[in-house]
């Protein structure tokens, strides 16, 4: 009995300690310490919302609570998305649906290990499971739209012309699409009511490199700001085709729907989005959190968990 009691007290101490530590209000600096597990600061979820309150969803191949290592669900780590949407609004299937077939990415590595990833064979993608949240409905709107950001960790296998990292629906439906195309060009395609407007982002993409790509959109000035393995954003403006209408088509990470698909040899680590326009400080916070989570030096400054380049 005495043993049981002391075991219980030890357990309770660990639980209380973990919760107290999770309550630290400013984790950004501490996230820079690669020795500490990012999950310590997670309030239980380990998501980017611990770093940026604007986080809407966070999908990650390296965290077991997002992908268990088997099955058809790639799940959102954020319990309370910033917009008020449901956590499950951002659950994705492996492949086109919940059955196991040739469109499923291949989970590679050990569940919960920082080296895990999804291997793409040139026919694979992830399809959003549920109807669009208002956040996703608004991405392409010129009136009633909003600011947003996306943080993507990926290594592209090769350039297949027009391959899509993210797409809402098909080519001629309203929505936003992130594309890598010939010449390693990174493009945003924004489809409104009557046409699609393309803008080439700078810098150009790098192949077979572990890449943290952050793109953020300022709705008021119609500006895209891009960070590619960098802590200094580069702005490119767009004049989007007008629409005030909700995007109804669901999204894909990689895609079919008439688009070119992510090339064979591509590794997908994670995909996250949020609902604000980022500055360099916030992009750096994402970089440091994901370097720590993935044990990888995305900005090549020689230190995992610190981003200075
Ligand atoms: Ca499937
Ligand atoms: Ca396949
Ligand atoms: Ca670094």
CA of 96 to the centre of ligand 2 (A): 11
- Residue ranges and CATH numbers for the domains of the chain are 1-37 (no CATH), 48-294 (2.60.120.200)
Sheet holding 175-181, edge to edge: 73-74, 92-94, 126-128, 251-253, 163-168, 175-181, 185-191, 196-201
Q: Which tens digits make up the pLDDT trace of 90-137? A: 999 999 999 999 999 999 999 999 999 999 999 999 999 999 999 999
- Number of neighbouring beta carbons within 10 Å of residue 72: 15
Q: Which tens digits make up the pLDDT trace of 269-281? A: 999 999 999 999 9
Q: Which protein residues have their CB within 5 A of the ion that is ligand 1?
A: 94-95, 104
Ligand that comes closest to the CA of residue 129? 1
Q: Which tens digits make up the pLDDT trace of 216-270? A: 999 999 999 999 999 999 999 999 999 999 999 999 999 865 667 899 999 999 9
CA of 255 to the centre of ligand 1 (A): 13
Determine contact, residues 15/8, Cβ cutoff 8 Å: no
Ligand that comes closest to the CA of residue 105? 2
Ligand that comes closest to the CA of residue 123? 2
CA of 92 to the centre of ligand 1 (A): 10
Q: Which tens digits make up the pLDDT trace of 156-201? A: 998 767 789 999 987 778 999 999 888 888 999 999 999 999 999 9
CA of 177 to the centre of ligand 1 (A): 22
Mean pLDDT, rounded, for 73-85: 97
CA of 265 to the centre of ligand 2 (A): 11
pLDDT of residue 102: 96
Report residue 19's pLDDT band, with 50, 70 and 90 as the boundaries. Answer: very low
User: With 50 as the cut, is the pLDDT of residue 10 above it?
Assistant: no
Q: Which tens digits make up the pLDDT trace of 296-305? A: 999 999 999 9
Report residue 1's pLDDT band, with 50, 70 and 90 as the boundaries. Answer: very low
Ligand that comes closest to the CA of residue 289? 3
């Amino acid at each position: 009995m005495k043993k049981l009691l002391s075991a219980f007290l030890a357990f309770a101490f660990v639980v209380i300690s973990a919760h107290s530590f999770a309550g630290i209000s400013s984790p950004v600096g501490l996230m820079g310490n690669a020795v500490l597990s990012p999950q310590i600061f997670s309030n239980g979820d380990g998501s980017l919302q611990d770093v940026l309150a604007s986080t809407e969803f966070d999908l990650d191949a390296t965290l077991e609570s997002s992908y268990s290592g088997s099955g058809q669900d790639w799940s959102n780590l954020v319990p309370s998305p910033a917009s008020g949407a449901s956590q499950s609004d951002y659950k994705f299937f492996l492949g086109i649906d919940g059955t196991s077939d040739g469109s499923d990415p291949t989970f590679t590595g050990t569940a919960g290990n920082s080296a895990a990833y999804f291997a793409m064979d040139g026919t694979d993608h992830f399809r959003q499971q549920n109807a669009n949240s208002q956040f996703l409905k608004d991405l392409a709107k010129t009136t009633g739209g909003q600011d947003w950001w996306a943080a993507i960790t990926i290594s592209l296998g090769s350039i297949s012309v027009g391959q899509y990292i993210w797409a809402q629906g098909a080519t001629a439906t309203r929505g936003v699409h992130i594309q890598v195309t010939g010449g390693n060009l990174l493009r945003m395609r924004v489809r409104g009511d009557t046409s699609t407007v393309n803008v080439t982002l700078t810098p150009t993409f790098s192949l077979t490199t572990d890449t943290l790509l952050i793109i953020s959109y300022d709705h008021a000035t119609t500006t895209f700001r891009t960070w590619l393995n960098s802590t200094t954003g580069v702005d490119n403006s767009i004049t989007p085709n007008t629409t005030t209408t909700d995007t109804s088509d669901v999204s894909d990470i990689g895609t079919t729907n008439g688009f070119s698909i992510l090339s064979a040899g591509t590794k997908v680590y994670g995909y996250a989005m949020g609902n604000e326009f980022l500055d360099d400080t916030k992009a750096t916070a994402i970089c440091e959190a994901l370097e720590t989570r993935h044990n990888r030096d995305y900005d090549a400054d020689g230190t995992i968990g610190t981003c200075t380049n």
